[in-house]
Amino acid sequence: MNKATLKRSISLPILFLYGLGTMVGGSFYALSGKVARMAGIAAPISFLIAGILAFLNVFTFSELSSRYKGLK
């Protein structure tokens, strides 16, 4: 009897983009109205800063997960 196995096909760039899209997409749709009301004319700058912070967070988690992958 031949047992079927799954092939791991998630690479670091795909994992990075998935995390970035999830975090930025969720926060953008959930909080854009509140941020615009609080920040006023500086709303685009606040979104830029939030995007940079999200990028750093996603990069950190993707690097961590790639290191765990090598520990098999």
pLDDT in tens, 22-43: 877 777 677 777 878 888 888 8
**What does the alpha-carbon distance between residue 48 and residue 71 come to, in Å, rounded to a whole number?**
35
Residue whose token pair is 């031949």: 2
What's the token pair of residue 3? Answer: 């047992």
- pLDDT over 70 (residue 69): no
Residue predicted with more confidence, 71 or 5 = 5
First to last CA, the chain: 26
